[in-house]
Amino acid sequence: MHGYVTRLTPIDAAGLAGEALDTPALASVLAGAGFEGGVERRFTARARSLTEVVARVLKFGAPEGAIAYVAWFASHGADLLGSRARPTDPPDVPGAVAFRHGVSGCCTKDTFRYIAAWTRGPYAMTLLVAGPDAGQGSASPLAAELDARVRKDG
């Protein structure tokens, strides 16, 4: 993504579970699902229609592990985006689920956020987009690109 600051970060089970409101519950899901590790690529920029994009690829020991993680994801929107998270239309990739968080009006730095997850074999992918244009329309081409890269590179 041209014009964005990019950072690549490895993801371990403790870091991923630590993002959930109920850390022990997600840690248990990850252990039971055979989570092996992952990587996150974060793009940030000011004064853009998307101020932040976070693409993650999480590897599990088997496809069933990735499916178990996405099932947890599908029922934990508040863990991912806060109490204002609502299910919404997913990006145009098979089996995706998504949540959207709208601006509350109480915080001047609050922004629209959209997060989606889906699987491809033993991989679970998540995509978060934030900013004024965050939503299915802006996430779909990015999700398709991420899905194609994982399908190609495995």
Domain ranges of the chain: 5-153
What band does 5 get if pLDDT is binned at 50, 70 and 90? very high
Listed in sequence order, the residues at least 6 apart from 103 whose beta carbon sits closer than 8 Å to its beta carbon are 110, 111, 112
Lowest mean pLDDT among 8-22, 79-93, 127-141: 79-93
Record the pTM: 0.91
Report d(CA 146, CA 128) in Å as an integer: 12
The fold adopted by the segment(s) 5-153 is: Protein Transport Mog1p; Chain A (3.40.1000)
Which residue matches tokens 């088997």? 62
Three-class secondary structure of residue 67 per DSSP: helix
- Strand ranges, E, within 61-147: 85-87, 97-101, 113-120, 123-130
- The mean pLDDT of the chain is 91
